[in-house]
Amino acid sequence: MVYLIIVFAILLIAAPIMAVLPSKRDKARMTKRQTAMRVGISVEMTIIDDPDPDPQKYLSTTGKPIPRRLSTAAYRIQRNKPKDRTAGDSPAWVALRFMDRRRATLSRNWYWESAAPGPEMSSISEYLVRNLDQLPPDAVKVEEKNYFFSVYWHEDGEVQEVIDFLKRCAALGSGEAGIEVKLLGGPGQ
């Protein structure tokens, strides 16, 4: 009986400790974030409006609508600002993954939520049309705002696909692929 009490006491002590340890999935996500930050991409946990059009997904048990909020990770890279100060503000655009492919207008699964990048950003527009479908399936939003390109995703796919996509967008947005991209943070940056 004494041994049973000792085992029970050890379990009572060990259970809370085990509960706070990160899971394999959490460890994998942290590795992805560290990989991105090492190459100069900032990572932020954020909440966005869910682009999923399913109205049943956002009903409470009483049938009342609840906010369409979605927790995601935002991977961001900054592009160089134009040297010409008269160039104006950074273009702002948003592309969303749409679950209903009949509405997708940008590519097979994506549509413009806001105006597409203007003619001065034609290389970005062409790149997006060709490459948005190459992002991991859990990527839900891509945008440029205030000279930052962002990919919002759930970190279930390959991080290298997101890194390569963002670096290419930043290079194209900085004037074309040969221009150095200003990276955020990271060792040696």
**Secondary structure (DSSP) of 47-105:** EEE-----GGGGB-TTS-B---EEEEEEEEEEPPPPS-GGG-SPP-EEEEE-SSGGG--
pLDDT of res. 180: 40
- What pLDDT does 114 receive? 74
Q: What is the mean pLDDT of each run of 10 residues along the chain (189 residues)?
A: 89 86 90 94 92 75 84 91 62 78 69 74 82 90 91 93 92 58 40
Tokens 């990048």 belong to 117
pLDDT number for residue 184: 41
User: What pLDDT, on a 0 to 100 scale, did the predictor assign at position 165?
Assistant: 94
The two structure tokens encoding residue 53 = 């059009």
